[in-house]
Homo-oligomer: A and B are copies of this chain.
Amino acid sequence: MPRAGLSTTAVVDAALAVADEHGVDALTLAAVAQRTGVATPSLYKHVAGLGELRTLLGARVIGDMADHFTRTVLGRSGDDAVAALMHAYRDYVRQYPARYAAMPLDPLHDPALAAAGGKLLDVVLAALRAYGLAGSDAIHATRCLRAVAHGFSSLEAGGGFGLPEDLDQTYDQLVSTVIATLRPPPRPE
């Protein structure tokens, strides 16, 4: 029997492909095994189980998003950077809805997730630099951006917007709203 030459990375690659093609519910060890041309129990040589595979997949997705967004923000600043970031977020979820759904929301239960999440946070904080936000203010602002981007994108990906009104328009409205609050209030002097 020829050896398949698998590795943890290859298993995660296959899992990503399965999720992208058939949805997050179809992400089973059996499906990943079939795609890699291996019997199901063989996967346990590379991954501790379905739970760990999900965690690794989540870390991969967060890292991938961080890379995307880093490229997006490069060479931009201020409103331009934040708007680009928000649209990149939505675009990513539209392009890979299943992958996004596979991403755990809480990165704290695993160091690998926390590291990838930190990278993502840094990108956002860099985009906010132009506003002079620091410390807690920057955290609150980041949370607002994330809540808006995640909320809109997950609803869109989940088919939560049934009416025919233009979604681009809704999102533009939402993005400009949240950006407006980042600017310091007009100084009354």
List the interface of chain A (C-beta within 8 A of B). Answer: 104-108, 136, 139-140, 143-144, 146-152, 154-155, 158-163, 165, 169-170, 173-174, 177-178, 180-181
Interchain nearest-CB distance for A37 vs B (Å): 30
> A173 touches which one: B144, B159, B163, B165 (CB < 8 A)?
B144
List B contacts of A158 (CB < 8 A). Answer: 104-106
Copies of this chain present: 2
Residues of the B chain whose Cβ atoms lie less than 8 Å from the Cβ of A144? 170, 173-174, 177
Residue from the list B105, B146, B174, B178 in contact with A159, Cβ < 8 A: B105
Contact B174 A177, beta carbon cutoff 8 Å: no
Interface secondary structure of A, over-half rule: helix
A154-B106 contact given A170-B143, A170-B144, CB 8 Å threshold: no
Known: A140-B169, A140-B173, A173-B181. A108 touches B162 (CB 8 A): yes
Q: Would you give the shortest CB distance from A168 to chain B, in whole angstroms?
A: 11
Shortest CB distance A106–B (Å): 3
A93 → chain B closest CB, angstroms: 12
A174 to B140 alpha-carbon distance, docked (Å) = 9
Given A147-B151, A154-B150, answer yes or no on A140-B170 (Cβ-Cβ < 8 Å).
Answer: yes
User: With A and B bound together, what is the CA distance between A105 and B163 in angstroms?
Assistant: 13
- In the complex, which residues of chain B have a beta carbon less than 8 angstroms from the beta carbon of A148? 147-148, 151, 174
Contact B140 A165 (CB under 8 A): yes
CB distance from A78 to the nearest CB of B (A): 18
Contact call B139/A108, Cβ cutoff below 8 A: no
A106-B160, A140-B173, A177-B180 known; 18 new pairs, CB 8 Å cut-off, are: A105-B158, A106-B158, A108-B159, A139-B165, A140-B169, A143-B161, A144-B174, A144-B177, A146-B155, A147-B148, A147-B170, A148-B148, A150-B151, A151-B151, A151-B152, A154-B154, A177-B177, A180-B181
